[in-house]
Structure 1
């Protein structure tokens, strides 16, 4: 049993994705039906959709589009982490609307595509604090050099549950282990941060990586955060850049060899069930 906490649906006929023009390998439709067929074969039973950085004017439209897929009989999708703009004045009203929608499980604002000082702004930080008590999580998608931004936000809002995406996006391709390792250790000291072991195959040399390539990164994350503060995600379709969903699932199983059944269950589904009430 797997809960996939990080699925992206790309449907260019339904929504605008400005960033795709600069990402040729992903500038295609990646629809739910294709994902679901492979996911079921891999043992994935429940899925959270992760926002795909659509045009800001289409943020609500993206949530509505994914919700319509979730309502179809047999759908794996159980909720959504939705896009947001905490740096803007309209966030407070947007937050109230999302709190009223049980399909919405949390927020994400990708921080490595904007200047670092965006997350340091007074309005951004005030709005992050507003999430306290809502039961909604906040995903942080940052690069290793931005570890201090993660810790600053976690310290700023200790009652907000943060989720660090993709093991903090290590540069595995360049074997840049040490600077990433130090940042992860520091972030893990914040009890209100969970780490998402998701899609790291996309950061490898797609032709040469093996499970052993990834093992030190996964072991450092689990040692730093502990098995109660890790969740699993596919990052489909980004994981196709490193072999695809089935390959990432197989590598996950290989890296969990020797791990206790209780620890495996926490990573693969139990922590996600608890965190997002799935």
Structure 2
């Protein structure tokens, strides 16, 4: 069983989706379940987790509607104002949606210290009461802050998105690797093997470019806390789905079948408590 733990849907809006720059022309269009379903089938993927791409309540509702209508969407990671008023009652309402598994905030765009704000930490801490997870989306320079954030919330289940976006394009390992190893010391933190191709040279990457970074996350997190994710359709600026998936499956060729199954699906099922 293969589960893609990280992909997105959107109806493209030039203003809302301003992060999709003109050089990312390949993804300046709509991407919906009808587009992804055949791709998953062609690549032998049994289901996926849809992750928020914009920060609004309507985004969460949009993803829940798609999940309700499409069985292959096994889980949703939505957005909610984690510093907002009446958060607990809003989480209580969202807990009624079986496919809603967790939340994410685009911290990579926030100023230094954002994660350590008391209001934000209090909000993330409330996720525990409803068994919601939290996806950590950051750049590598925020790894130290993420460590202090996660260490203060030991009961929250965290997953690091896109390996904290190492500088693969220039072949730089440090200080990223040190930050990854430190964060991985915390047992409540997992890591998605996702988003790599967009951190590399979009036009000229080779599978060997990713091996040093995969070695680091494997040695740090082991095979029980790594989750495969395609980051479709964002990956399309640098690779087709098959190419993004192939980077991971080729690397896992040296692993046992049970380890392969964990990283490519079982860990996502366990982390997000997916109904398979």
**TM-score normalised by the shorter chain: which range applies?**
over 0.9
SS at match of 1:142: coil
1:141 Cα offset (Å): 0.4
Q: Distance in 2 between matches of 1:94 and 1:174?
A: 43
SS at match of 1:19: coil
Q: Distance in 2 between matches of 1:117 and 1:87?
A: 14
The answer to whether 1:170 aligns with 2:171 is: no
Q: Which has the higher contact order (CA 8 A, sep 6+)?
A: 2
Q: Distance in 2 between matches of 1:252 and 1:192?
A: 23
Equivalent residue runs for 1:26-175 within 5 Å: 26-54=27-55, 56=56, 59=57, 61-72=58-69, 75-175=71-171
Asked if the contact 1:203–1:242 (Cα under 8 Å) also holds between the matched residues in 2, the reply is: no
Q: Distance in 2 between matches of 1:182 and 1:114?
A: 22
1:133 Cα offset (Å): 3.6
1:17 Cα offset (Å): 6.2
Asked if the contact 1:105–1:137 (Cα under 8 Å) also holds between the matched residues in 2, the reply is: yes
Asked if the contact 1:129–1:156 (Cα under 8 Å) also holds between the matched residues in 2, the reply is: no
1:98 Cα offset (Å): 1.8
Q: Distance in 2 between matches of 1:21 and 1:266?
A: 33
The unaligned stretches of length 5 or more in structure 1 are none
SS at match of 2:130: coil
CA shift in 2, pair 1:109/1:221, >3 Å: same
Q: Distance in 1 between matches of 2:46 and 2:20?
A: 33
Matched with 1:254 is: 250
Q: Deviations over 1:133-171 (max 9, x none)?
A: 421110000011101121112111100000000111111
Q: Deviations over 1:4-33 (max 9, x none)?
A: 1111001137xx862336523133212221
Q: Deviations over 1:89-118 (max 9, x none)?
A: 343332222223212100101101111232
SS at match of 2:193: strand
The unaligned stretches of length 5 or more in structure 2 are none
- TM value normalised by structure 1: 0.91
SS at match of 1:256: helix
- TM value normalised by structure 2: 0.92
Q: Distance in 2 between matches of 1:186 and 1:65?
A: 36
- Higher mean Cα deviation, 120-129 or 163-172? 120-129
Asked if the contact 1:89–1:123 (Cα under 8 Å) also holds between the matched residues in 2, the reply is: no
CA shift in 2, pair 1:79/1:187, >3 Å: same
Q: Distance in 1 between matches of 2:96 and 2:65?
A: 17
- Higher mean Cα deviation, 111-120 or 192-201? 111-120
Q: Distance in 2 between matches of 1:5 and 1:22?
A: 21
